[in-house]
Structure 1
């Protein structure tokens, strides 16, 4: 009688539907609405933060809500979730028996392809791409963070504590700037992005090739937000949110409290309800962007709590989660939609109130993507972008 020695597993394939936890998918699907509201406004106004500089009526409310809850507050959610997904992917590979070297190769290959996806996305559709930055950060995390001990990863909690102190100090400086403000009052205006105002598609491509490298360099620093997601994933907080309700509640209250209070003064300026000079506006803008990073863990914790309370998977929950499972396709679909609906050389639907147009386009595109993702899930189709990425990686 002879015994056979099974070969060592080099790597396993992508995650199956039965392995997925509700909370991460629900978070990604829901937050794509906030991403859409932010990016559609940037397209519509051809600049950032995408607000009406002379608001009237409900435009004031839209400006206020965008600056309080969206601007610099939506993308940190996906940074947290990206870090979380890195650990999930590595854990699934290891649990299947994949060798450490194979796990590293899979992660490096996947993130390298994300950089390629990002370059194509930024060249063809939208300079404000985050995929390339995710890929760069993912490679750094794979090489230097993922295989560290729990004790090492506590460093990120200390970094965030220091960041909180810095936010409080910045808030104090902003209060002084508002108190010392003098006339003339300075309205909040959009910083223009030439690619979004280009009169032809060819001109927009050239502009994006100039804008994309600087944008990517500016957002690679959110590695600290990604690292927090890595820490959370090591604790498997979102796989079992009910067991971590106390922690999630505290993070939601503190994170969203900081991000809302930090964005509130600039939101009042954007709505035209607070009139200060240019120096004060600049100070409040910095405070808003700095405090926005706390929206990442804050929103994740809030939606994690929501997921923990769900006992019946209703149709809307299933559909939003289906979009979360196809978040890459949903993200790219949004960019295609903005290009078709809002670019000057396509349909250019920016008539009447630009703020209203951006809002309704964002909601409509998100609803369509939810419906489309649910239809794909019923047919067990992963999504075009996910299918391509998995084919390239595995």
Structure 2
């Protein structure tokens, strides 16, 4: 007699396979890691934020201008949008496999709890300016209160962004008044020091990071409104089918990037040393730059969505950058290891000559190495060390 047994179906499925991936999200993550690198390497090099030359000369003026216009406070919102997008993609795959609502919630909560742990380790060991922990906290909030809501509820996110535009107009008006009324001595854009980045020993830096990280993490939790926008976009599957949303993508790209560039331009002119105003005006322009930077998130994402429509074949650079996007967690952590090894005062300390040049060259070089490494991993069907560890812990 043959005895058969029916095994209970798993209440969740494993991680996404390569064939299930859409090009746009991976290409966005891989490319935008360059901007993350340009921002963070400069913070390391200058041991403070925003990581610009306070008295620029020659090409340094251009580097300051480009960084303040296109990078600072403009790179991380892209990943906030994509984080929200990824939450919905993960939940959708779980549901499609037959997982129950409770199982999907458990997987998302578990994954985000581990992101908090990754973030704490990253901030303690390498860089206080970690975003992983904040992503994890925001991800748990979204899992509990947003993911399972209907389309009408998620329109609230669009209403919030409309109010943010109004608020930004008010801030822009106040900044303009501050510039017009500027009468004190000219104030150069200076870096706010971070003791952990100037520490002369690894363990002294670790002690400083433990003090700096909680405040940093708390200061960026507000990007939940950016994550929410990513959730809304993922529900519409905008990046999986960009052709069907071409008009929307075009409007968001022009509007989002237009706002973020115009909002960052005044501070960039001050940072380049081409405009001179007093301290109160510089502070007002700094607030304008930071607030307008959030619109760079959807703006850059929409731009890459349109770019994907023009890609007729997957060239080697596109495949390599997308491979890094598939391993963005490993790429992000690899950058922090690189800054620690190359730029910290107690390691190689490669801050020679112009610090602005050094920071930019190191960032570009590290990003290229990570692209090559990610492509090599993809050829061997290896997910990446951080992704592999996270998936084992979650699944």
Equivalent residue of 1:146, what SS?
Answer: coil
Q: Structure 2 regions of 5+ residues with no counterpart? A: none
Mapping for residues 337-348 of structure 1, pairs under 5 Å:
337-348=338-349
Given that residues 9 and 99 in structure 1 are in contact (C-alpha distance below 8 angstroms), is that contact kept between their aligned partners in structure 2? Answer: no
- 1:7 maps to what in 2? 8
**Equivalent residue for 1:176?**
177
* Structure 1 residue 315, shift from structure 2 partner: 0.2
Q: TM-score, normalised by structure 1?
A: 0.99
Q: TM-score, normalised by structure 2?
A: 0.98
Tell me which residue corresponds to 1:132: 133
Q: Does the CA-based 8 Å contact 1:9-1:96 persist in structure 2?
A: no
Q: Which residue of 2 aligns with 1:385?
A: 386
Structure 1's consecutive aligned runs of 4 or more residues displaced over 2 angstroms after TM superposition are: 2-9
SS at match of 1:381: coil
- 1:280-307 Cα offsets, whole Å, 9 max, x none, are 0000000000110000000000011101
Residues 262-277 of structure 1 correspond to what in structure 2 (within 5 A)?
Answer: 262-277=263-278
Matched residues in 1 for 2:287 and 2:155: separation? 27
Q: Which residue of 1 aligns with 2:47?
A: 46
Work out the CA distance in 1 between the residues paired with 2:185 and 2:214.
Answer: 36
Structure 2 SS opposite 1:63: helix
Q: Which residue of 2 aligns with 1:146?
A: 147
Higher mean displacement: 110-119 or 3-12: 3-12
Q: Distance in 2 between matches of 1:179 and 1:116?
A: 47
* Counterpart-to-counterpart distance in 2, 1:260 and 1:292: 8
Partner of 1:229: 230
Q: After superposing the two structures, state which structure 1 stretch, 300-309 or 366-375, moved more.
A: 300-309
Query: 1:20 deviation in Å?
Result: 0.2
For 2:39 and 2:392, locate their aligned partners in 1 and report how far apart those are by CA, in whole Å: 31
Q: 1: CA distance between counterparts of 2:312 and 2:151?
A: 32
Question: What is the Cα deviation at residue 308 of structure 1?
Answer: 1.7
What corresponds to 1:65 in structure 2?
66
The corresponding residue for 2:326 is 325
C-alpha distance in structure 1 between counterparts of 2:122 and 2:9, whole Å: 37
Q: Distance in 2 between matches of 1:168 and 1:143?
A: 33
Say if 2:19 is the partner of 1:28: no
Count the aligned residue pairs.
393
1:350-384 CA distance string (max 9 Å, x none): 01000000000000000000000000000000000
Where does residue 116 of structure 2 map in the other structure? Answer: 115
Which ranges of structure 1 fall in alignment gaps of 5 or more residues?
Answer: none
Deviations for 1:301-343, whole angstroms, at most 9, x for unmatched residues? Answer: 0011101211100000000000000000000000000000000
Q: 1:278 aligned to 2:279?
A: yes
